[in-house]
Amino acid sequence: MDSVTVRVPAKVNLQLAVGPLRDDGYHDLVNVFHAVSIFDEVTATAKVGMSVRVEGESADQVPEDGENLAIKAAFALAGHAGRSYGVNLLIRKSIPVAGGMAGGSADAAAALVACNELWGLGLPLEDLMEIAADIGSDVPFALLGGTAVGTGRGERLTPLKVEGDFHWVFALADGGLSTATVYAECDRLREATGERVAWPRAAEPLLAALREGDAETLGAELRNDLQPAAVMLRGSLARTLKAGREHGALGSLVSGSGPTCAFLARSESHAGELAASLKDAGVARDVITAHGPVPGPVIV
Ligand code: C5P
């Protein structure tokens, strides 16, 4: 086998409850991840040495060196196997770059699956999940897909059963936001306002809405503790979120650390209408529709 291609979805966080800052610089979370139908593709081709190339949407903003999460994943997998394997990774981006939709984590997960196959390692998902957690907090979920609750720094996962499909609209912003900067801004705001930071808990009504396929309740329960920080760093997001509410979204929130905004619609046709209204309102660089949950990485 000379090459393996893996298709991998983006995620949106339905609840992101951020606990106190830990000694290791991370925050304990309750992070309800939901994989949606916006996909990157990663092709792993056998060669001597390791290299990565990025094509597509905002490709120029993705590093093509050792900082790239997909190549980090390839190195980590080769290290785990104790062999000096080589690979070229070609990443075709559709997931917004630094957009709060875990695009880099998705590419890392896809690289793990592709290289596991290309190099004939046959490692089970549990082993890949352990390697994934060392690459980034969101990479284990990117291997899993579907809908899941993450605890710890987001890497300890419990899959959730979800009834039916949910229909989403995503408003993409110009330029990205750094995850570390948004968490630091969240800490700064909490300090400045003297907010008492509670231990993060999963919202039971949100979990019930997912189990029952109740979009109305899910919309009302969407919550992201990083949102005030993302809006503080990117003031224009307040207008984007307001436009979604005014045009009939069941719920609106910043996705992860932003700046992508997510809007829940009643149905596929409602998502189409909402996307058209948001485009007309001129509150985003681009507006796309997607559905979730979708499965994790798939070899194509
Ligand atoms: O794990 P990952 O490398 O994706 O995290 C990027 C940054 O986001 C971390 O360096 C940290 O600043 C912040 N973070 C956090 N708490 C988490 C996850 C990420 O503070 N649970």
Tens-level pLDDT at each residue, the chain (300 residues): 799 999 999 999 999 999 999 999 999 999 999 999 999 999 999 999 999 999 998 999 999 999 999 999 999 999 999 989 999 999 999 999 999 999 999 999 999 999 999 999 999 999 999 999 999 999 999 999 999 999 999 999 999 999 999 999 999 999 999 999 999 999 999 999 999 999 999 999 999 999 999 999 999 999 999 999 999 999 999 999 999 999 999 999 999 999 999 999 999 999 999 999 999 999 999 999 999 999 999 999
Q: Where are the beta strands (DSSP E) in 65-217?
A: 87-93, 147-151, 156-159, 166-172
Pairing of strands 223-224, 166-172: unpaired
- How many other C-beta atoms lie within 10 A of the C-beta of residue 273? 15
Q: pTM score, two decimals?
A: 0.97
Q: How far is the CA of 28 from the centre of ligand 1 (A)?
A: 10
179, 189, 224, best to mutate for ligand 1 pocket (most atoms within 8 Å of CB): 179
Q: Is the CB of 103 under 6 A from ligand 1?
A: no
Residue type, 127: D
* 11 has catalytic annotation: yes
* 138 has catalytic annotation: yes
Distance between CA 77 and CA 159 in Å, rounded? 24
Query: Whose Cα sits closest to atom 9 in ligand 1?
Result: 180
Q: Which helix (H) or strand (E) covers residue 298, if one does?
A: strand 298-299
